[in-house]
């Protein structure tokens, strides 16, 4: 059992083949991340059970559940939302939706540069959105767009320096880095972190911002 003033938030991210969960109370953080591929259904509940068991808490002791809303894969998001909404129905725990792209960009906000966060949409295409750092967080300056790497590079031609992050392949990364002013971190650093979903969710929870469980919906990748 835990003190009611220190209840943690559970973050769930099943937007892509790299799944992850986190438990966060504003001070202490526990994270699990794994390559789920097409095994979200069989692994997610087991991973959550393990994380809660290690923390010695039950689902009813959670402060909220933050769920990555996409854009992402149909199967992954469907499983993640099913678990998140199931926890809400059983425990009445609040739900908080977090953009997958915002979560990907958050760890780089400290750099002070403009950021583009992207996810692979298949067939050589990406979905990306633009962000700028503000007050230790991010402001979306351009909404998500689906296009090719060439289109993204062309769109960024007017920027002086910009960080582009996300789960895209090495060929796409090479195309981006050949353009002036575009910085692409190493592959391992581009992976989205469950802790970022937890941090955004925690900030919104403490600001009193939660979502209607009947209205919150995933954003699937369109090809």
| DSSP, residue by residue, 115-140 | EEEEEEEETTEEEEEEEEEETTEEEE
Question: For the chain, what percent of residues have pLDDT higher than 70?
Answer: 96
- Average pLDDT of the chain to the nearest whole number: 93
- The per-residue pLDDT for range 79-116, each reduced to its tens digit, is 999 999 999 999 999 999 999 999 999 999 999 999 99
The pLDDT assigned to 222 comes to: 74
Helices within 156-219 (DSSP H only):
170-177, 187-190, 194-206
| Contact indicator for 210, 94 with CB cutoff of 8 Å | yes
**Least confident among 68-77, 136-145, 152-161, 196-205:** 152-161
Q: What is the pLDDT of residue 20?
A: 97
Q: What is the CATH number of domain 4-100+192-206?
A: 3.30.420.40
Rounded to whole angstroms, the Cα distance separating 99 from 199 reads 12
Q: What percentage of the chain exceeds 90 in pLDDT?
A: 83
Question: One fold for both 4-100+192-206 and 101-190?
Answer: yes
Contacts (Cβ under 8 Å, ≥6 apart) of 156 = 116, 162, 164, 179, 181, 182
Pick among 3.10.400.10, 3.30.1180.20, 3.30.420.40, 3.10.129.10: CATH of 101-190: 3.30.420.40
pTM across the whole model: 0.94
- What confidence score (pLDDT) does residue 1 get? 41
Q: For residue range 164-181, what is the model confidence (pLDDT) as tens digits?
A: 999 888 899 999 999 999
Q: What are the domain boundaries of the chain?
A: 4-100+192-206, 101-190
Whole-number pLDDT of residue 46 = 94
Average pLDDT over residues 138-154: 96
């Amino acid at each position: 059992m835990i003190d009611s003033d220190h209840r943690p938030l559970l973050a769930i991210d099943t937007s892509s083949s790299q799944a992850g969960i986190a438990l966060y109370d504003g001070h202490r953080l526990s994270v699990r991340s794994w390559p789920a591929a097409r095994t979200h259904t069989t692994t997610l509940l087991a991973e959550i059970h393990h994380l809660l068991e290690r923390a010695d808490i039950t689902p009813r002791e959670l402060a909220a559940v933050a769920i990555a809303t996409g854009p992402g894969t149909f199967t992954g998001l469907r499983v993640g939302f099913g678990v998140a909404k199931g926890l809400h129905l059983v425990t009445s725990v609040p739900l908080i939706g977090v953009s997958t792209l915002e979560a990907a960009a958050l760890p780089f906000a400290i750099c002070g540069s403009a950021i583009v966060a992207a996810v692979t949409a298949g067939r050589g295409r990406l979905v990306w959105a633009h962000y700028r750092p503000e007050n230790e967080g991010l402001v979306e300056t351009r909404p998500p767009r689906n296009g090719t790497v060439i289109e993204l590079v062309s769109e960024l031609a007017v920027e002086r320096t910009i960080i582009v992050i996300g789960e895209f392949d090495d060929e796409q990364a090479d195309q981006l880095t050949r353009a002036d002013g575009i910085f692409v971190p190493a592959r391992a650093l581009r992976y989205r972190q469950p802790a970022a979903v937890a941090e955004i969710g925690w900030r919104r929870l403490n600001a009193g911002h939660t979502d209607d469980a009947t209205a919150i919906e995933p954003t699937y990748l369109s090809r």
